[in-house]
Amino acid sequence: MVFPCSQPICVPSKVKSRLYADAIPGYFATNHSHINYYIDMSDLKHKQSLAMTVARSFAARMAGMPVDTILCLEGTEYIGAYLAQELTRESLSSMNTGRDLFLIEPDSNINGQFIFADNLRPMIDGKAVFVMVASASTGQTLSQIAECVEYYGGHVVGNAALFSNISELDGKPVVSLFTGADFPNYQICAHGKNCPDCAAGIPLDAIVTPRGYRKL
C-alpha cells in the first residue's frame, strides 16, 4: 500500500502544459467516493500567475456562453475573479463584454445542503450561473449545486472543474484541465460499491476535503 507521504507525481495538463497537478498515490475517501490518488491542485487555486492561466483556459472555451453569475466552490474564488475579468474583456467572440458579473459562493446548512444568504439571492434568481469546482470525480457536487441554483430561481449554463471525470452534466458542458485518464491507473469507487481496498480490509490513508486532505 502506498501512503500519502509518498513522492507526488507531477502531471502536466494536456489542455495547457504550463499547468500541473501533483498526484499523491494512496487510499483516500471523499464525500462521495474512494480514490487511489489525492490530486493536489493548490498551486492552481492560490498562485496568481497559475490562477490567471487557468481562468484564461476556461474563458477560451466559454466564448459563446452568456453568464451573469460565477459560483465558486472548493477554493476556486481566486480563479473565479480572473475568469470574470476574462469573460468581460473586450472581444468580438465574447457575449459578456462590458458586463458586470457577480462572483459568489454558497453556504451550507447543518445537513450539508447548499444554501444562499438572503442578500445573495438576487444574484442567483433569474440569472445565468456558471459553476466552478476544484474536483468533479462523480458529478454529485455539481448535481447538488445545480438543484440549489434552480431552487433559488437561477439556471446553470455550464460548469468548470480543475479535475473532472465527466465532460457534461444534464446536457451542460463541464470543462476541465485534467481527467482520470491523465493519471496512471486512476481508480474511483462509489462509497461501499466494488471498492477492492474495502473488500480487502485495507484502512484509509486520509480523508479528502475541499481544502486538502487529512491523514488518519
Tens digit of each residue's pLDDT (9 = 90 or more) over 86-133: 999 877 567 888 889 999 999 988 888 999 999 999 999 999 999 999
Indicate whether 41 belongs to any domain: yes
Indicate whether 75 belongs to any domain: yes
Q: What domain range is 88 assigned to?
A: 9-211
SS3 118: helix
Q: What is the pLDDT along the chain (216 residues), one digit of tens a residue?
A: 444 556 789 999 999 989 999 999 988 888 888 888 899 999 999 999 999 999 999 999 987 899 999 999 999 999 999 999 999 987 756 788 888 999 999 998 888 899 999 999 999 999 999 999 999 988 889 999 999 999 999 999 999 999 998 999 999 899 999 999 999 888 888 765 677 777 777 888 888 887 788 887
Please give the full DSSP string across 152-203, using - where no structure is assigned. Answer: TT-EEEEEEEEEES-SEETTEEEEEEE-GGGSTT--EEETTSS-HHHHTTPP
What CATH code is carried by the domain that includes residue 102?
Answer: 3.40.50.2020
* 44, 162 Cβ separation under 8 angstroms: yes
How far CA 198 is from CA of 7, 25, 83, 182, in Å, comes to: 24, 16, 40, 24
The candidate with the shortest Cα–Cα distance to 107, out of 136, 69, 71, 132, is 71
Indicate whether 114 belongs to any domain: yes
Please tell me the predicted confidence (pLDDT) of residue 78.
96
SS3 146: helix
Q: What is the separation of C-alpha 159 from the centre of its chain, rounded to a whole number of angstroms?
A: 8
Indicate whether 108 belongs to any domain: yes
Q: Partners of 159 in the beta sheet?
A: 131, 174
Residue 141's H or E segment, with its range, is helix 140-151
Indicate whether 80 belongs to any domain: yes
Number of domains in the chain: 1
Please tell me the predicted confidence (pLDDT) of residue 2.
47
Indicate whether 166 belongs to any domain: yes
Indicate the pTM of the whole model: 0.89
SS3 189: strand
Classify burial at 181, counting beta carbons within 10 Å of its beta carbon; exposed 0-12, middle 13-18, buried 19 or more.
Answer: exposed
* Eight-state DSSP code of residue 26: E
Determine the Cα–Cα distance for residues 36 and 205; give it in Å rounded to an integer. 10
Indicate whether 2 belongs to any domain: no
How far CA 142 is from CA of 37, 71, 170, in Å, comes to: 21, 11, 10
Indicate whether 1 belongs to any domain: no
Q: Look up residue 17 and give its three cell numbers.
A: 502544459
Q: Could you give the count of Cα atoms lying within 13 Å of 172 in the half-sphere of its Cβ?
A: 19
Determine the Cα–Cα distance for residues 215 and 5; give it in Å rounded to an integer. 9
